[in-house]
Amino acid sequence: MTAENFQDPETALDAAVQLYAHGRFADAACHVGNEAATREVLKTADAIVAWLRRISTLTLSLVEVREQGSGDAVPITRNGDTMAVVLDTSQEAVFDINSRDDRGFLSKAALDLTVTGDNITAAVVDTPDTNTPNQLVVTAVQPGAGGLVVLSVPDDDTVADASEAFDVNPGGVASLALGAPTIREQGGEPEPTP
């Protein structure tokens, strides 16, 4: 068994079983129905999987800026020294969360999300496929500058946080409908319409 085989939990569980079969639980693990030994093997497998899946790098990749209602893509614009993503109040930005373990495999471990500023909201969207990164969706709420989103690995100061700044501009009027004009004398009743 090589390190490359540890990219999935089943292999890690198999490794834990092999380790325990030749270690201090060798006698207990060999007896069918020994629940305490089984729990210890699974507990160790969980620890091995968690260790193998720990995040060592964390970055955000901007996938698209789109309209909130329709999902239509719009051009991506960045602004200023912070290279803030520019949205208008009808838009949202979608990022891939590239959280990788030290072997480069995608890790979907839990992350802390912090949003600063009242011009945006943000949420992490889990993707069901283990080989597809989760996504961060940042939604414009109201005009303003200085919105900031930060993703960080809980209880681990060794991994650099991933962050993006946002400026939100007022959105334009999508449509304006004018009705038929009504003409009337000042102070009088409106003229009947034909």
| pLDDT for res 63 | 96
Residues 70 and 163 in one domain: yes
Give the number of other Cβ atoms within 10 Å of residue 87's Cβ.
28
Tell me the CA distances in angstroms from 66 to 82, 105, 111, one per residue in order: 21, 29, 24
What region does 76 belong to: left with phi over 0, alpha with psi -120 to 50, or beta? Answer: beta
What's the DSSP call for residue 176? Answer: -
Is 175 domain-assigned?
no
Residues 157 and 73 in one domain: yes
Mean pLDDT of 62-80: 94
Residues 95 and 113 in one domain: yes
Could you tell me if 78 and 87 are in contact, meaning their C-beta atoms sit under 8 angstroms apart? no
Residues 104 and 21 in one domain: no
| pLDDT for res 162 | 93
Residues 61 and 139 in one domain: yes
> Is-above-0.85 flag for pTM?
no
In the predicted structure, residue 158 carries a pLDDT above the cut 70: yes
In the predicted structure, residue 168 carries a pLDDT above the cut 50: yes
Domain CATH number, residue 134: 2.60.40.1080
Distance in angstroms (rounded) separating the CA atoms of residues 69 and 49: 40
Q: How many domains does the chain have?
A: 2
| pLDDT for res 56 | 86
Residues 144 and 162 in one domain: yes
Is 192 domain-assigned?
no
Task: Please name the residues in contact with 54: beta carbons below 8 A apart, sequence gap of 6 or more.
Answer: 101, 102, 107, 109, 156
1 confidence band (pLDDT: 50, 70, 90): very low
Q: At what angle do helices 35-52 and 9-21 cross, to 10 degrees?
A: 130
Give the number of other Cβ atoms within 10 Å of residue 60's Cβ.
21
Residues 31 and 63 in one domain: no
Residues 47 and 103 in one domain: no
Residues 16 and 91 in one domain: no
Residues 96 and 131 in one domain: yes
**Tens-digit pLDDT profile for residues 7-27:** 555 666 666 666 666 655 555
Is 119 domain-assigned?
yes
Could you tell me if 19 and 12 are in contact, meaning their C-beta atoms sit under 8 angstroms apart? no
Domain with 11, as residue range(s), is 3-52
| pLDDT for res 15 | 67
